[in-house]
Amino acid sequence: MNAVSMEAGLLLAGILFLLGMISVMIRRNIIFMLISVEIMLNAAGLAFIVAGSRWVQPDGQIMFIFILTMAAAEVSVGLALILQIYHQLKTLNSDTANFMKG
Amino acid sequence: MELTFYIAAAVAVLATLMVITRYNMIHALLYLVVSFLAIAIVFFTLGAPFMAALEVIVYAGAIVVLIIFVIMMLNLTYEDVQKEKEWLKPSVWVGPAILSLVLLAELVYMITAAETAPAAAVVAVDARLVGLALFGPYVLAVQLSGILLMAGIVGAYHLGRQKKKVVHRFLQERSAAA
């Protein structure tokens, strides 16, 4: 049986997710917002690992692998978008990118 | 094993708190690496050593390096060498270093403890089980994530391409003559 209680692991995942969410809401630098999304995805993966370890099943770890894949694809596309925004607007402030060009 | 979990969890929360309060991006990334390493230790204590390795390789390795590359490409810092020297003062790296030292001490403790007591309390779900399930019932999801990665590569290439300005050679000759 596992020594670490499931509640503690889920609490850690919740705290990390909350920190990432707060950072997405308060920061205006778009790279920091991307980093915070990474933190939130990582916290979700941690919750899956905790659950998989609680019931000694490999499914939680498999979900973590899929989250990892998704995070890698997301960060590459997001960074390409950040490059384009920086070349267009010459700033990283996300509030300046609030207009559309049809 | 329980104490190592709580220490690693505290390090993870502390490092994440430092990430979201930094103003300098590179400092934040330094703390982000420490946070990912701490979560890898948490995975190790939860009996998922393969996922701990993946966390270190993919998150702390690939993703952070990708973000650093983009920060360098954006060329945000035009300060000179003096500024660079000022950045390398100990107060920049001493915080991440202390947190990483705590994690290193935990890792050494766990390796030595595993040698002395091979029948540890944690039931590990090892990589063999994960691989069997991954290419058994989940093989469709593996193919879908392959498609997702392909779309990510193509999308990042398409979005990140710089538009080249096309000028007719007649205009080029005129601008060179003028």
Q: Which residue has the higher pLDDT, B124 or A79?
A: A79
What is d(CA B13, CA A17) in angstroms, rounded to the nearest whole number?
Answer: 10
Q: How confident is the model at residue B109 (pLDDT cuts 50, 70, 90)?
A: confident
Task: Report how far Cα A25 is from the mean position of its chain's Cα atoms.
Answer: 13
ipTM: 0.90
pLDDT at residue A74 tops 90: yes
The answer to whether A61 faces chain B, any CB pair under 8 Å, is: yes
Phi, psi of A93 (to 5 degrees): -70, 125
C-alpha to C-alpha distances, B28 to A98, B19, B87, B151, nearest whole angstrom: 26, 5, 13, 29
**pLDDT for residue A90:** 77
Domains in chain A with CATH codes: 7-92 (1.10.287.3510)
The DSSP line for A26-89 is: H--BHHHHHHHHHHHHHHHHHHHHHHHHHTT-THHHHHHHHHHHHHHHHHHHHHHHHHHHHHHH
CA angle B137, B124, A11 (to 5 degrees): 90
Residue of A43, A23, A53, A47 whose CA lies nearest to A35: A23
- Angle, to 10 degrees, between the axis of helix B2-19 and the axis of helix A30-54? 160
pTM: 0.82
**pLDDT for residue B43:** 92
For chain B, where are the alpha helices, taking DSSP H only? 2-19, 25-45, 49-54, 64-74, 81-87, 90-116, 127-134, 139-160, 169-177
- Beta-carbon neighbour count of residue B117 at 10 Å? 9
Return the minimum-mean-pLDDT range out of A28-32, A57-61, B30-34, B121-125: B121-125
Return the minimum-mean-pLDDT range out of B4-18, B44-58, B158-172: B158-172
Distance from CA of A23 to the nearest CA of B (A): 6
Q: What spatial distance separates the first Cα and last Cα of chain B, rounded to whole Å? A: 76
Q: How confident is the model at residue A1 (pLDDT cuts 50, 70, 90)?
A: very low
Contact residues, chain A, for B32 at CB < 8 Å? 35, 38-39
**pLDDT for residue B85:** 61
Provide the percentage of residues in chain B whose pLDDT is more than 90: 34
**pLDDT for residue B77:** 59
Q: Which residue has the higher pLDDT, B31 or B170?
A: B31
Residue of A65, A74, A24 whose CA lies nearest to A44: A65
Phi, psi of B130 (to 5 degrees): -60, -45
Cβ of B66 and A79 within 8 Å? yes
Interface probe, candidates B4, B18, B20, chain A, greatest A C-beta count within 10 A:
B20
The answer to whether A88 faces chain B, any CB pair under 8 Å, is: no
Domain coordinates in residue numbering, chain B: 2-126
Cβ of B121 and A92 within 8 Å? no
Name the architecture of domain B2-126: Up-down Bundle (1.20)
